[in-house]
């Protein structure tokens, strides 16, 4: 099939081009990335990979991002599991209202609630002394709700594909509903949960808008910190590329390892 070969080759080229630029430029000396573009480096160097930690406090941003994204993922998954279990296994008033409301928050432009959220966080801080603005806690709270609607939605579909008889049997055997959830439904829905966790982590790791407004020097995440490599006089493109590569490795590796789950999770959940 020639059309397939041509199409897939072109598409692969399109996909790989920036990846190639990122990898090759990160191994180039500064004059190679300041002057005219070159496909091949004039000489290979790994210095950018050492310099990136000096030019900006990258390790610090890295830790911040890990804490924020990690905590947001764990909380988001646990909360989504509870909510999805309630929706898929119980009949109650307001069920439809809940699912529709949660889903429709997906359509809200982030810009719409950036400033109000900022005001709420500041007011909560003034009233209770809990510093949400500028803290990791505020960012965690925000990010976990970003991934929550999609996670709930996907897990509902996934839980519905777990036969009801399984947890009903567990209930009959004397398990409480929560025990049935964690002993029966959750183990059977692991692929869906993994998919949701991957999604939540990626969402939190990549967010820019709220990170640029809601963090200060001590809580800055990678999304904002990476912009520190462009100084007034000189842009260290080789270091920027090296840093981009370094911050991408954890998510890309995790994603590629777990993408199988994501596909099966989507098949059972979102696509229903």
Partner 1 sequence: MTLTTASAGTRAPEPAVRKTSGAGRGPRRPGRVRRTALPYLLLLPALLLEILVHLLPIVIGVAMSFKELTQFHLRDWGAAPWRGLDNFRLVVDLDGPAGQALLKSFVTTCLFTAASVGLCWLLGTAAAVYLQESFRGRGFLRALFLVPYALPVYAAVITWSFMFQRDNGLVNYVLHEQLGLLDSPSFWLIGGNSFVALLTVSVWKGWPFAFLIVMAGLQNVPREMYEAAALDGAGRWQQLRRITLPSLRPVNQVLVLVLFLWTFNDFNTPFVLFGRAAPEAANLVSIHIYQSSFATWNFGAGSAMSVLLLVFLLLVTGVYLFLTSRERRVSRG
Q: Tell me if 96 sits within 8 A of 165, measured CB to CB.
A: no
Determine the interface stretch with partner 1 among 45-53, 55-63, 84-92 (rule: CB under 8 A): 84-92
Shortest Å, Cβ 44 to partner 1: 18
Complete DSSP assignment for the chain:
-HHHHHHHHHHHHHHHHHHHHHHHHHTS-HHHHHSS--SS-SS---HHHHHHHHHS-HHHHHHHHHHHHHHHHHHHHHHHHHHHHHHHH---TTHHHHHHHHHHGGGS-HHHHHHHHHHHHHHHHHHH----TBSHHHHHHHHHHHHHHHHHHHHHHHHHHS-HHHHHHHHHTT--HHHHIIIIIHHHTHHHHHHHHHHHHHHHHH--HHHHHHB-TTT--HHHHGGGGB-SS-B-HHHHHHHHHHHHHHHHHHHHHHHHHHHHHHHHTTT-
Dihedral sign for Cα atoms in the order 271, 259, 153, 210: negative
Q: How many residues are recorded in the chain?
A: 272
Residue 255 binds partner 1 (CB under 8 A) = yes
Taking the complex as a whole, the smallest distance from the CB of residue 63 to partner 1 amounts, in Å, to: 16
Q: Is 205 in the site for partner 1 (CB under 8 A)?
A: yes
Q: According to CB under 8 A, which residues from 3 to 32 bind partner 1?
A: 4, 7-8, 11-12, 14-19, 21-22, 25
- Is 54 or 92 the residue whose CB approaches partner 1 more closely? 92
- For partner 1, the binding residue among 54, 165, 216, 217 (CB under 8 A) is 165
CB of 203 to partner 1, least distance (A): 10
Tell me if 86 contacts partner 1 by CB under 8 A. yes
144 vs 194 by CB, closer to partner 1 = 144
Residues 223-242 that bind partner 1 (CB under 8 A): 223, 226, 237, 240-241
Contacting partner 1 within 21-80 (CB under 8 A)? 21-22, 25, 33-37, 79-80
The only residue of 2, 54, 112, 231 in contact with partner 1, by rule CB under 8 A: 112
Q: Which stretch binds partner 1 (CB under 8 A): 46-54, 55-63, 199-207?
A: 199-207
Output the smallest distance, CB 50 to partner 1, in A.
19
Q: Taking Cα atoms as reference points, which of 49, 48, 28 lies closest to residue 38? A: 28
What residues from 122 to 151 belong to the interface with partner 1 (CB under 8 A)? 141-142, 144-145, 148-149
Q: In the numeric block, which tokens belong to residue 71?
A: 């905590």
Shortest Å distance, C-beta 142 to partner 1 = 6
Among 53, 60, 166, 228, indicate the residue that binds partner 1 (CB under 8 A).
166
């Amino acid at each position: 099939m020639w059309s397939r070969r041509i199409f897939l080759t072109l598409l692969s080229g399109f996909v790989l081009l920036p990846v190639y630029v990122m990898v090759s430029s990160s191994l180039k000396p500064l004059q190679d990335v300041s002057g005219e573009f070159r496909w091949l480096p004039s000489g290979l160097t790994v210095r950018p990979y050492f310099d990136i930690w000096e030019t900006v406090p990258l390790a610090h941003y890295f830790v911040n991002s890990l804490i924020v994204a990690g905590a947001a993922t764990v909380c988001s998954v646990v909360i989504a599991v509870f909510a999805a279990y309630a929706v898929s296994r119980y009949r109650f008033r307001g069920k439809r209202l809940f699912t529709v409301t949660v889903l429709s928050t997906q359509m809200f432009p982030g810009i719409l609630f950036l400033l109000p959220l900022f005001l709420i966080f500041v007011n909560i801080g003034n009233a209770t002394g809990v510093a949400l603005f500028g803290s990791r806690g505020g960012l965690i709270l925000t990010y976990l709700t970003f991934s929550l609607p999609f996670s709930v939605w996907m897990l509902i579909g996934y839980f519905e594909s777990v036969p009801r008889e399984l947890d009903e049997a567990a209930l009959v055997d004397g398990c409480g509903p929560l025990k049935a959830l964690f002993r029966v439904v959750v183990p059977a829905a692991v692929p869906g949960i993994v998919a949701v966790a991957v999604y939540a982590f990626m969402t939190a790791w990549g967010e820019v808008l709220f990170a640029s407004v809601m963090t200060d020097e001590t809580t800055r995440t990678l999304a904002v910190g990476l912009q520190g490599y462009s100084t007034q006089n000189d842009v260290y493109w080789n270091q920027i590329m090296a840093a981009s590569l370094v911050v991408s490795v954890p998510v890309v590796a995790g994603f590629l390892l777990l993408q199988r789950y994501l596909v099966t999770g989507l098949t059972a959940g979102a696509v229903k």
